[in-house]
Chains A and B, each alone.
Chain A
Amino acid sequence: MLTVSIYRYHPELDEKPYMQDFQVDTGGKDIMVLDVLNLLKIQDRSLAYRRSCREGVCGSDGMNINGTNGLACITPLSSVVKNNKLVLRPLPALPVIRDLVIDMDQFYKQYEKIKPFLLNDTPAPGIERLQSPEEREKLDGLYECILCACCSTACPSFWWNPDRFIGPAGLLQAYRFLADSRDTATEERLAGLDDPFSVFRCHGIMNCVTVCPKGLNPTKAIGHIRNMLMTRAT
Chain B
Amino acid sequence: MVTTVTSYGRSGLSDWLVQRVSAVILAVYSIFMVLYLLLNPQIDFVQWSALFSGTGMRIFSLMALLSLGAHCWIGLWSVSTDYLKHFAVRFVFQMVVGLLMFIYTIWGVQLLWGL
Cβ contact of A195, chosen from B11, B17, B78, B82, cutoff 8 A: B11
Among A44-52, A58-66, A196-204, the stretch in contact with B: A196-204
- Let me know if A196 and B1 touch, CB within 8 A: no
**A116 contacts chain B at the CB level, 8 A cutoff:** no
In the complex, how many residues of chain B place their beta carbon closer than 8 angstroms to a beta carbon of chain A?
Answer: 15
Interface-lining segment among A75-83, A90-98, A225-233: A225-233
Which residues 1-57 of B have a CB within 8 angstroms of A?
1-4, 7, 11-13, 15-17
A73 → B minimal CB distance (Å): 33
Q: Distance in Å from the Cβ of A133 to the closest Cβ of chain B?
A: 32
C-alpha gap A59/B13 in the complex (Å): 33
Query: How long is the Cα–Cα vector from A229 to B11 in the complex, in angstroms?
Result: 11
A198–B81 alpha-carbon span in the complex (Å): 13
Q: How far is the CA of A98 from the CA of B92 in the complex (A)?
A: 38
Q: Are A200 and B4 in contact (CB under 8 A)?
A: no
Task: Say yes or no: is A192 at the interface (Cβ < 8 Å to chain B).
Answer: yes
Minimum CB–CB distance from A126 to chain B (whole Å) comes to: 36
In the complex, what residue of chain A is closest to B14 when comparing beta carbons? A233
Report the minimal beta-carbon distance from A127 to chain B, rounded to whole angstroms.
36
Contact A194 B12 (CB under 8 A): yes
A85 within 8 A of B: no
- Least CB distance, B74 to chain A, in whole angstroms: 9
